[in-house]
Chain A
């Protein structure tokens, strides 16, 4: 269906309809929903220890507090709320389950130890201080290195050690290919631990249906269908008796595409008490307990020819899993993403990798915008610069010599991922041109010093996995990841259109863009299309909104669903008009004869026949109704791509990095709404700037979390957001519906390596090697001091 050429609204900027209520403060986020009568408010007692035995819990004083309904410990919940675990079918993965509320042992700071049930949030908070928990602290490990050390405390005794996942891969004849390289370079790169920090923390509310046996769970999630299946299965409920609804969701970024213990618990307690149960997370809990991400160490070795062409690459990745596998992905997500994505836009044909995920006494890690890709590209893009420096080649030239070239498409990379189309070389050239790369290099002084600050340019070419279909999830062992998404497109009796989509918006603008797609395909006014999603009772089943899949899979399904309804409209209208359906076109709210546009019907007239609201018969064999449901399972993955080129100035005295100029070239195939795509690029890029320069969750060696507030965990403000020059290339996919590729993550993936490389370029003359993000001022001052000391020592 990619050959569609007659788009009318797809590709145009339409201003968002959701703004009308968001701007007036009328959106209903989780904590804005009307509260049912008799609502129970929850608050959790959090473990202050990274690793400890729970000796005793005294709840008497808390229970005695007016307004407190009950206080429950893990023991109290053991009978009906068992521990839960993701379903992963991948060699090398050894699963362990996570308790909803701890029993006997705590394994990270912030783990739920007891839950307060109260009549008001204030009473619940008061009660928290009255729960007495006696702990026996135990030795803890916080880092990958400590988790792997011989004799390290073991996080889950049943596993015997802390390696929860290990995988290996090598192409045939790898050793020989590697040995054939003329120069070998090796570097270890690492990324600090970060997290999503949606401005709306999570929250959930379970509400027993007053007239049936079911429960409705309102939750601030990106994956309502997956949440429903998992909770129903876990609590032994008929799936039909659980309805999961997402209210307005205040940002997700991957953090909200996991199933969390509290979501299970509110449903279990609503069932137990027959009352509505609500929990709203505060920021401290967000930073302590929501999934973290990254904290990867990547050792990359490459064998290179003197011409700078990579002959073979060898990658060893370690990720910090935290204390429990996240649900539904498990720690295999980031590990397998990093190793599978590392070849990226480059023609690497001999490849070996090993990946391991290590349990520690820290919060579980999981999905976050970019998943594995910022890490993979920090390594390979950092290596491109090192190859250039070693061989005396310009770093841009090294990339040119290695990149998958236009004539190579469609290209299957070394781990079997198909790149159907892409603009890797044009995107690189465009980015270099936008920043004036050659002129910069000519003017750049050997010592890089301009007005007292070191200047450098960094480049990152990236590929961006998007729209992962079932085969893409299966190959990585995600047994419960559907891969498809779906839509039900309905022409209502009034001739207007309703589109029910299996996804869940968290700010991406689905209510605008999916309406745009359906209006385009059905030839109706955009205003006449209503989009409904984020409700398992109303929408067909699907995967959800994460990993840059909304436009590819949701959008693709709406196009296919609309086409199916369009066929039915033509059949009925053809019968009504007495002409061949194939002669009919849709447009202007009508269906009409292509060659005689005056001859036609309004959609309402067709709908009246379809819904038996007149005396006209349907064609032989045609059923009533005017709708279609479509389940779209896209290809394994669809690769978007782009290039970031950034110029920085580094102040050697205070270690501050200033971004002077920033060019982003992005190619997400067919664009649905350019302004919304630009917004995704801006947002992701600035998140990447945060990850590159400031963000890091810090644990001390004993697993104590040191910065669980927004005063201490820094995210970018407007002062940290540089102006971005955006270059847009549109290379439609030949594998997906309408050629759409995803757009949400490339900005972050491109930014982290580009900025690290820019700082590396600026400080190269000092002998500073940039191998780790975030590059906070103190880090940079330290690196410069160490490099100077080393030089002084050598001199």
Chain B
């Protein structure tokens, strides 16, 4: 139960932060309570629900299972970093139009999973989408509108690619 603190350097949503934290301090707590980025939610703290999903060096990870100190030097993207203050990201837009969120507590995690998934699978089948979404739990929507949203987001991103 050592109270010694360690220095952690993390780049979060493009900004560099240096903080002194306990070695056992979770990444989720670091983001939420040290940096005030409370969009990353905690639903289970045991790695199952996916509400805490963030991108760690571009890959999805459970921020409830990782120590901030162990990620020294990493680059993190949270829901706040997807669109910043600008217009919604195509994945966010697709979620909005498909009514893919109700309480919205699970949503930041789903957005992260979807962004990573569509980057690797620009034209997925519904089955592939279902597979990818098992990373995250939602108790409100019954998933169907989330699946729609991911299909629609894929179309939007492809159109954007094509147009660029």
Contact between A25 and B40, CB atoms less than 8 A apart: yes
Q: Does A24 belong to the interface (CB within 8 Å)? A: yes
Contact between A29 and B105, CB atoms less than 8 A apart: yes
Q: Does A709 belong to the interface (CB within 8 Å)? A: yes
Q: Does B99 belong to the interface (CB within 8 Å)? A: yes
Task: Knowing A15-B97, A717-B134, say if A25 contacts B39 (CB, 8 Å).
Answer: yes
Question: What is the CA–CA distance of A199 and B146 in the complex, to the nearest angstrom?
Answer: 16
Contact between B103 and A718, CB atoms less than 8 A apart: no
Question: What is the CA–CA distance of A16 and B39 in the complex, to the nearest angstrom?
Answer: 19
Contact between B102 and A679, CB atoms less than 8 A apart: yes
Task: Knowing A126-B1, A718-B134, say if A710 contacts B44 (CB, 8 Å).
Answer: yes
Give the distance to chain B from A200, nearest Cβ to Cβ, in Å.
Answer: 4
Q: Does A37 belong to the interface (CB within 8 Å)? A: no
**Which A residues lie within 8 Å of B104 (CB)?**
18-19, 22-23, 27, 248, 250, 507
Q: Does A564 belong to the interface (CB within 8 Å)? A: no
**Which B residues lie within 8 Å of A199 (CB)?**
41, 43, 49, 51, 103, 105-106, 137-140
Question: What is the CA–CA distance of A253 and B139 in the complex, to the nearest angstrom?
Answer: 9
Task: Knowing A31-B42, A32-B38, A718-B130, say if A22 contacts B143 (CB, 8 Å).
Answer: no
Q: In the complex, which residues 382-414 of chain A have their Cβ closer than 8 Å to any Cβ of chain B?
A: none
**Which B residues lie within 8 Å of A724 (CB)?**
142, 144
**Which A residues lie within 8 Å of B24 (CB)?**
122
Contact between A711 and B46, CB atoms less than 8 A apart: yes
Contact between B144 and A26, CB atoms less than 8 A apart: no
Question: What is the CA–CA distance of A18 and B40 in the complex, to the nearest angstrom?
Answer: 17
Give the distance to chain B from A441, nearest Cβ to Cβ, in Å.
Answer: 28
**Which A residues lie within 8 Å of B60 (CB)?**
none
Task: Knowing A24-B80, A200-B41, A283-B43, say if A16 contacts B142 (CB, 8 Å).
Answer: no
Q: In the complex, which residues 177-202 of chain A have their Cβ closer than 8 Å to any Cβ of chain B?
A: 196-201
Q: Does A367 belong to the interface (CB within 8 Å)? A: no
Residue of B whose beta carbon sits closest to that of A686: B142
Question: What is the CA–CA distance of A507 and B142 in the complex, to the nearest angstrom?
Answer: 13
* Partner pick for A687 among B44, B96, B99, B142, CB 8 A cutoff: B142
Question: What is the CA–CA distance of A201 and B88 in the complex, to the nearest angstrom?
Answer: 28
Question: What is the CA–CA distance of A16 and B140 in the complex, to the nearest angstrom?
Answer: 15
Task: Knowing A25-B80, A718-B130, say if A682 contacts B1 (CB, 8 Å).
Answer: no
Which of A20, A27, A724 has the largest number of chain B CB atoms within 10 A? A27
Q: Does B11 belong to the interface (CB within 8 Å)? A: no
**Which A residues lie within 8 Å of B143 (CB)?**
682, 686, 716-718, 721
**Which B residues lie within 8 Å of A16 (CB)?**
96, 99
**Which A residues lie within 8 Å of B78 (CB)?**
25
Residue of A whose beta carbon sits closest to that of B132: A718
Q: Does A685 belong to the interface (CB within 8 Å)? A: yes
Question: What is the CA–CA distance of A721 and B150 in the complex, to the nearest angstrom?
Answer: 15
Contact between B134 and A719, CB atoms less than 8 A apart: yes
Question: What is the CA–CA distance of A22 and B96 in the complex, to the nearest angstrom?
Answer: 10
**Which A residues lie within 8 Å of B68 (CB)?**
none
Residue of B whose beta carbon sits closest to that of A718: B133
- B interface: dominant SS: loop
Question: What is the CA–CA distance of A198 and B92 in the complex, to the nearest angstrom?
Answer: 22
Give the distance to chain B from A664, nearest Cβ to Cβ, in Å.
Answer: 11
**Which A residues lie within 8 Å of B142 (CB)?**
679, 682-687, 716, 721, 724, 747
Question: What is the CA–CA distance of A199 and B78 in the complex, to the nearest angstrom?
Answer: 18
Q: Does A723 belong to the interface (CB within 8 Å)? A: yes
Question: What is the CA–CA distance of A66 and B1 in the complex, to the nearest angstrom?
Answer: 11
> What 0/1 pattern do residues 714 to 755 of A give for CB contact below 8 A with B?
011111010110000000000000000000000100000000
Contact between B137 and A25, CB atoms less than 8 A apart: no
Q: Does A587 belong to the interface (CB within 8 Å)? A: no
Question: What is the CA–CA distance of A196 and B78 in the complex, to the nearest angstrom?
Answer: 27
Question: What is the CA–CA distance of A25 and B138 in the complex, to the nearest angstrom?
Answer: 16
Give the distance to chain B from A508, nearest Cβ to Cβ, in Å.
Answer: 7
Task: Knowing A22-B104, A509-B102, A719-B134, say if A683 contacts B141 (CB, 8 Å).
Answer: yes
* Partner pick for A250 among B1, B105, B136, CB 8 A cutoff: B105
Q: In the complex, which residues 118-164 of chain B have their Cβ closer than 8 Å to any Cβ of chain A?
A: 129-131, 133-134, 136-147
**Which A residues lie within 8 Å of B1 (CB)?**
126
Q: Does B79 belong to the interface (CB within 8 Å)? A: yes
Contact between A507 and B137, CB atoms less than 8 A apart: no
**Which B residues lie within 8 Å of A198 (CB)?**
103, 105, 139
Q: Does B30 belong to the interface (CB within 8 Å)? A: no
Residue of B whose beta carbon sits closest to that of A674: B99
Question: What is the CA–CA distance of A249 and B140 in the complex, to the nearest angstrom?
Answer: 12
Number of interface residues of B (CB under 8 A): 56
Q: Does A105 belong to the interface (CB within 8 Å)? A: no
Question: What is the CA–CA distance of A26 and B40 in the complex, to the nearest angstrom?
Answer: 10
Residue of A whose beta carbon sits closest to that of B78: A25
**Which B residues lie within 8 Å of A747 (CB)?**
142
* Partner pick for B99 among A26, A675, A718, CB 8 A cutoff: A675
Q: Does B8 belong to the interface (CB within 8 Å)? A: no
Q: Does A770 belong to the interface (CB within 8 Å)? A: no
**Which A residues lie within 8 Å of B71 (CB)?**
none
* Partner pick for A200 among B88, B101, B103, CB 8 A cutoff: B103
Q: Does A245 belong to the interface (CB within 8 Å)? A: no
Q: Does B63 belong to the interface (CB within 8 Å)? A: no
Q: In the complex, which residues 41-95 of chain B have their Cβ closer than 8 Å to any Cβ of chain A?
A: 41-46, 48-49, 51, 78-80, 82-83, 88, 92, 95
Q: In the complex, which residues 101-128 of chain A have their Cβ closer than 8 Å to any Cβ of chain B?
A: 122, 126
Which of B92, B102, B146, B147 has the largest number of chain A CB atoms within 10 A? B102
Question: What is the CA–CA distance of A253 and B1 in the complex, to the nearest angstrom?
Answer: 39
Question: What is the CA–CA distance of A715 and B107 in the complex, to the nearest angstrom?
Answer: 17
Question: What is the CA–CA distance of A686 and B49 in the complex, to the nearest angstrom?
Answer: 16
Question: What is the CA–CA distance of A709 and B47 in the complex, to the nearest angstrom?
Answer: 10
Question: What is the CA–CA distance of A31 and B33 in the complex, to the nearest angstrom?
Answer: 10
* Partner pick for A19 among B3, B95, B131, CB 8 A cutoff: B95
Give the distance to chain B from A600, nearest Cβ to Cβ, in Å.
Answer: 35
Give the distance to chain A from B24, nearest Cβ to Cβ, in Å.
Answer: 8
Residue of A whose beta carbon sits closest to that of B84: A24
Contact between A709 and B46, CB atoms less than 8 A apart: yes
**Which A residues lie within 8 Å of B95 (CB)?**
19, 23
**Which B residues lie within 8 Å of A248 (CB)?**
103-105
Question: What is the CA–CA distance of A282 and B39 in the complex, to the nearest angstrom?
Answer: 18
Residue of B whose beta carbon sits closest to that of A717: B134
Question: What is the CA–CA distance of A724 and B145 in the complex, to the nearest angstrom?
Answer: 11
Give the distance to chain B from A246, nearest Cβ to Cβ, in Å.
Answer: 12
Residue of A whose beta carbon sits closest to that of B144: A682
Q: Does A8 belong to the interface (CB within 8 Å)? A: no
**Which B residues lie within 8 Å of A122 (CB)?**
22, 24-25
* Partner pick for A25 among B79, B103, B131, B136, CB 8 A cutoff: B79
Contact between B46 and A710, CB atoms less than 8 A apart: yes
Give the distance to chain A from B25, nearest Cβ to Cβ, in Å.
Answer: 8
* Partner pick for A197 among B32, B107, B139, CB 8 A cutoff: B139
Task: Knowing A507-B103, A718-B133, say if A251 contacts B140 (CB, 8 Å).
Answer: yes
Give the distance to chain B from A581, nearest Cβ to Cβ, in Å.
Answer: 39
Q: Does B37 belong to the interface (CB within 8 Å)? A: yes
Q: Does B12 belong to the interface (CB within 8 Å)? A: no
Contact between A23 and B111, CB atoms less than 8 A apart: yes
**Which A residues lie within 8 Å of B51 (CB)?**
199
Residue of B whose beta carbon sits closest to that of A507: B103
A-B contact pairs, 23 of them (CB 8 A): A16-B96, A19-B95, A20-B96, A23-B79, A201-B43, A282-B45, A507-B102, A676-B99, A678-B99, A678-B145, A679-B141, A682-B141, A682-B142, A683-B102, A683-B140, A710-B46, A710-B137, A711-B48, A716-B143, A717-B133, A718-B131, A721-B143, A724-B144
Interface residues of A (CB under 8 A from B): 15-16, 18-20, 22-29, 31-32, 66, 122, 126, 196-201, 248-251, 253, 282-283, 506-509, 675-676, 678-679, 682-687, 709-711, 715-719, 721, 723-724, 747
Nearest 7 A/B pairs, CB to CB: A25-B39, A507-B103, A250-B105, A22-B104, A686-B142, A25-B79, A682-B142
Given A711-B46, A718-B129, 17 additional A-B pairs, CB 8 A:
A19-B104, A25-B40, A26-B80, A31-B38, A199-B43, A199-B140, A250-B43, A507-B101, A508-B102, A676-B99, A683-B102, A684-B142, A709-B48, A716-B143, A717-B133, A718-B130, A719-B134
